[in-house]
Amino acid sequence: MADPTTARPPLSTSGRSTRDLIRGLADVDWRRYVIYIAFVAVFVLFAVLLRDDGFLSQGNLLNIFRQTATITVIAVGMTYVIACAEIDLSVGSVAGLASVCSAMAIAHWGLMAGILAGLAVGVVVGTINGGLVSRLGIPSFLVTLGMLGIAAGVAQWITHSAPQPILNDTFNLIFGGGDFGPIPGLLVWMAAFVVVGAVVLNRTRFGRQVVATGGSRTAAEFTGIDTRRIKFQVLLISATVASVAGMLYAGRLQSGRFQWGSGDELSAIAAVILGGTSLFGGRGAVIGTLFGALLIGLINNGLILAGLESSQQQVVRGVIIILAVALARKK
Amino acid sequence: MSAVVELRGIRKSFDSVPVLLGVDFEVGYGEVHALAGGNGAGKSTLMKILQGVYTKDAGEILVSGTPVAFSSVDDAKAAGIGMVFQEFSLVPSLTVAQNLYLTAEKRNRVGMISDRDSRDRGRRIFADLEVEVDIDAVVGDLSTAYWQLTEIAKAVAQNAQVLILDEPTASLARNEVDALFGLIGRLKGRGISIIYISHRMDEIYRIADRITILRDGRSLFTRRLDEVTPAEIVEGIIGRPDDGALSYRERESSAGTDVLLEAITLYSGTRVRGVSFQLRAGEILGIAGLMGSGRSELARCLFGIDRIDSGELRMHGRRIDVRNPRDAQRAGIALIPEDRREQGLVLEHSVTDNLLLPVLDTIRRGPFLDTRSGRRLSRTLIERFAIKAGDADQPVRRLSGGNQQKVVIAKWLGTRPEVLIMDEPTAGVDIGTKGEIVAMIRRLADAGGAVIVISSEFPELLAVSDRVLVLRNGAVADELARAAIPDEESLQLAVQGL
């Protein structure tokens, strides 16, 4: 729990009665940590119930991480956006577009061009999203909803809906295909994003400004924070991070495809909110986001092992997410 | 006295509507300078120009004698001008220490900020100011008073030379006001100047050295407070001699004998603990009490916002169940809430839409709203309550505070309630409008309605009430007939429980 802004229970305020204080602490203790409690509870539940289905095998556990990695990366960027009281619905299709642009550039011009092309997708989309939101004041919900369609459409259009194979082994190795000894490369990517994301959000002036802007835009503005710039930057970060996630899809699956990442925005948002970031901004927790994503991955994995059909999985997953958020809700 | 800040001939228009027409204003080193004027006189605009939020159209700003041009809040802050905002400028989700040094945090070589350093420096500032605040508390969990002290400390932490306090006591209890004034004294001692904006005459006399009065966008006069009488100030603000609206008058028709509303040992939440009272038709019942005494909570449960846990409410002797505001409205109860911007108005909607919101049912023709009769009703209300809204279709947000309050009152009176509850009806309202609101309350009672007035401003409470209930710790501690209260001081003592 590295996040000082969310993990600290509100301490006593002179003038409140001890009873309020105790009640306050009682409230906070479990609500703030509900994601960790839920994670452990679900893990233990599956460990017991799915003992014979290989849930606890090293292979399966690494699998959970592997399947969760890209969502986690996207969700780290999303944490910034939501902590800033904005939303980015375009991340899933940005990942898809980045995967195909990267794949096509590799086929034509090689490795470096491929990586740059993938990143360029994020930077361009992020600049457009951020510019429209911060300069023209259009709500991010609408801008990124539009961009969701545009990015997905472009990805499908330029590839004529065909998968773009990636034959460059180095690329596939770097972006998620390879392993570092027993540790999957994807896990390293995930860890890097989480660590950098958590440190920047909690321990840098920029991170503090993001949270302040989301907490009270007026207050931030009067404190001298350029809140338009902050809003621009978080949307730029989110799209760029999503484009990296797109390349992770491409590397792992050795191809670029417009469907990669499709629907990920909703999983990412769910992970962020489960992790304790306030949907209304002002509070952000990257470590929480990691566990939010892991919980979703855990549930997916467990339900598959339990032999549920994908339709049933969706229902159970939905119920668990609503339940967790309801429990974590601040009255 | 040399001036730390001097404004000369400031002019400002919005959309070609002139708001400031040449204002002169100066503040000396270590001076507390009161700034007074009616709603719409231009106080906020002037202060926002000094703050760098708005840019002036014409005129000069001098800081320590040097002309400056502010084009942003940062410029003003760099010149040492700090504002303690009426609409507070702290981020509720951050701690006190994090707020104090927001964007001014100390950073190490790799750019990581240190909360520990903010805490240490913050503690020292609070110790210097002799204020006790938990530096690690999340600001959103603090009471208004601490919120405000944090706000002041933040300005001091940023080396502000001039603090602008806008209605700082609006939601403070008496002892908190004393603490604030003590703090202002210490700030003065450190050579920090304070611009003190307030409608409260007693505070101005208590704390300020000089006063400048604005009227209609011009500075009317600047005088030392020991050379100006309250009557001169009031006349300066409202532009005519005080008509005594705020002093007690015998009611034209005395309260009836029928009990209209009766509360029997009401309990609600933790703040209302066994309140009983009777309210007669045509009566104005004042409710006094400290912050946290359960004043507002009583109003909330009478209007069905908070649940009544036990006890009984009777209207005309018949038991009524008030589980939500709709029930209350149906029973003939209306509430004018404490915070008009948050609870009383839809700020972005037009004056007409706001006025008609509670009475939509009455202006229906079949399933459709009858816009014509709606407009007629809204026009009548605007006239009857003398609401200054150039255009009934403009958003309520653009009206001055006093006129917004009149819209809230008019909106609820449009429902023709039998019992009207008003929570702090004159907070943040200028003295002219205050008089109008007091007159409105009297007229309403004279017409047979019953009114409950909750107020922390004793002069107005004493001006209108037939009877005053004193709440303490959620229960009725005292019930005083108006005639039994000789002066403000004795009511003050009753409220404090002395």
Mean pLDDT on A109-122: 96
Give the mean pLDDT of chain B.
Answer: 85
pLDDT at position A69 over 50: yes
Mean pLDDT on B35-52: 84
Give the model confidence (pLDDT) of A7-37 as tens digits: 344 443 444 456 665 655 555 556 677 888 8
Residue with more model confidence, B292 or B443: B443
pLDDT at position B3 over 70: yes
Residue of A nearest to B145 (CA): A15
Looking at the domain assignment, is residue B250 inside a domain?
no
CB distance B132–A204 less than 8 Å?
Answer: no
Amino acid A21: pLDDT: 59
**Are B315 and B460 contained in the same domain?**
yes
Mean pLDDT on B196-220: 89
**Are B111 and B166 contained in the same domain?**
yes
| pLDDT-derived band at B411, boundaries 50, 70, 90 | confident
Residue with more model confidence, A154 or A61: A154
Amino acid A234: pLDDT: 97
Tell me which of B75, B91, B134 to substitute to probe the interface with A (most A C-beta atoms closer than 10 Å).
Answer: B91
CB distance B95–A15 less than 8 Å?
Answer: no
**Are B273 and B156 contained in the same domain?**
no
- pLDDT over 70, % of chain A: 89
Contact by Cβ (8 Å): B466, B284 = yes
Query: B39 CB contacts (<8 Å, ≥6 apart)?
Result: B400, B401, B402, B403, B429, B430, B433
Give the model confidence (pLDDT) of B425-442 as tens digits: 887 777 778 888 888 888
CATH number, domain containing residue B229: 3.40.50.300
From A222's Cα to the closest Cα of chain B, the distance in A is 6
Residue B160 DSSP one-character state? -
| pLDDT-derived band at B355, boundaries 50, 70, 90 | confident
Range of the domain at B17: 3-238
- Which amino acid appears at position A264 of this protein? D
**Are B418 and B459 contained in the same domain?**
yes
CB distance B103–A208 less than 8 Å?
Answer: yes
- Kindly compute the dihedral angle of the four CA atoms of residues A194, A197, A199, A203, in this order, to the nearest 10 degrees: -150
CB distance B137–A10 less than 8 Å?
Answer: yes
Which residues in B lie closer than 8 A to residue A11 (C-beta atoms)? 134, 136-137
Amino acid B345: pLDDT: 81
**Are B263 and B233 contained in the same domain?**
no
Amino acid B315: pLDDT: 92
Three-state DSSP at B221 gives: strand
Which residues in A lie closer than 8 A to residue B92 (C-beta atoms)? 215-216, 282
Looking at the domain assignment, is residue B149 inside a domain?
yes
Looking at the domain assignment, is residue B334 inside a domain?
yes
- ipTM comes to 0.76
CB distance A14–B146 less than 8 Å?
Answer: yes
Q: Specify the range with the lowest mean pLDDT, choosing from A12-21, A71-80, A234-243, B470-479.
A: A12-21
Give the model confidence (pLDDT) of A198-226 as tens digits: 999 998 989 999 999 998 888 888 777 88
Which residues in B lie closer than 8 A to residue A226 (C-beta atoms)? none
Looking at the domain assignment, is residue B246 inside a domain?
no
pLDDT at position B389 over 80: no
Amino acid A9: pLDDT: 40
CATH of domain A15-328: 1.10.3470
CA–CA gap between residue A317 and residue B325 (Å, rounded): 38
From A134's Cα to the closest Cα of chain B, the distance in A is 18
Residue with more model confidence, A82 or B407: A82
Residue of B nearest to A209 (CA): B103
CB distance A223–B136 less than 8 Å?
Answer: no
CA–CA gap between residue B225 and residue B31 (Å, rounded): 12
Classify residue A55 as exposed, middle or buried by CB count within 10 Å of its CB (0-12, 13-18, 19+).
buried
From A314's Cα to the closest Cα of chain B, the distance in A is 34
pLDDT at position B402 over 70: yes
CB distance B137–A220 less than 8 Å?
Answer: no
- Which amino acid appears at position B485 of this protein? I
* The pair of three-digit structure tokens given for residue A99, joined into one six-digit string: 């995967």
Which residues in B lie closer than 8 A to residue A4 (C-beta atoms)? 115
Give the model confidence (pLDDT) of A160-188 as tens digits: 999 999 999 999 999 987 887 788 889 99
Q: Specify the range with the lowest mean pLDDT, choosing from B212-216, B376-380, B401-405.
A: B401-405
Amino acid A100: pLDDT: 96
CB distance B89–A8 less than 8 Å?
Answer: no
**Are B289 and B328 contained in the same domain?**
yes
| A216 interfacial to chain B (CB closer than 8 Å) | yes
**Are B161 and B264 contained in the same domain?**
no
**Are B220 and B284 contained in the same domain?**
no
Contact by Cβ (8 Å): A276, A285 = yes
**Are B337 and B265 contained in the same domain?**
yes
Residue with more model confidence, B398 or A138: A138
| A4 interfacial to chain B (CB closer than 8 Å) | yes
**Are B269 and B218 contained in the same domain?**
no
CB distance A11–B134 less than 8 Å?
Answer: yes
Amino acid A201: pLDDT: 93
CB distance B88–A283 less than 8 Å?
Answer: no
**Are B230 and B266 contained in the same domain?**
no
From A246's Cα to the closest Cα of chain B, the distance in A is 30
- The number of beta carbons lying within 10 Å of the beta carbon of residue A46 is 21
Mean pLDDT on A69-86: 96
Residue of B nearest to A20 (CA): B270
| pLDDT-derived band at B41, boundaries 50, 70, 90 | confident
CB distance B91–A219 less than 8 Å?
Answer: yes
Name the domain boundary from B174, B209, B238: B238
Tell me which of B93, B107, B113, B143 to substitute to probe the interface with A (most A C-beta atoms closer than 10 Å).
Answer: B93
Amino acid B23: pLDDT: 92
**What domain count does chain B have?**
2
Which residues in A lie closer than 8 A to residue B133 (C-beta atoms)? 14
Looking at the domain assignment, is residue B430 inside a domain?
yes
Over its C-alpha atoms, chain B yields an Rg (Å, rounded) of 24
Residue with more model confidence, A34 or B36: B36
Amino acid B298: pLDDT: 93
Contact by Cβ (8 Å): A237, A76 = no
CB distance B83–A5 less than 8 Å?
Answer: no
Max Cα-Cα span within chain B? 77
Q: Look at the alpha carbons of B361, B376, B389, B246 in this order and tell me if their dihedral is positive or negative.
A: negative
CA-based nearest residue to B282, from B442, B468, B446: B446
pLDDT at position B490 over 90: no
Which residues in A lie closer than 8 A to residue B141 (C-beta atoms)? 10, 13, 24
- pLDDT over 70, % of chain B: 95
pLDDT at position A4 over 60: no
**Are B263 and B234 contained in the same domain?**
no
Query: B4 CB contacts (<8 Å, ≥6 apart)?
Result: B27, B28, B29, B63, B64, B161, B162, B193
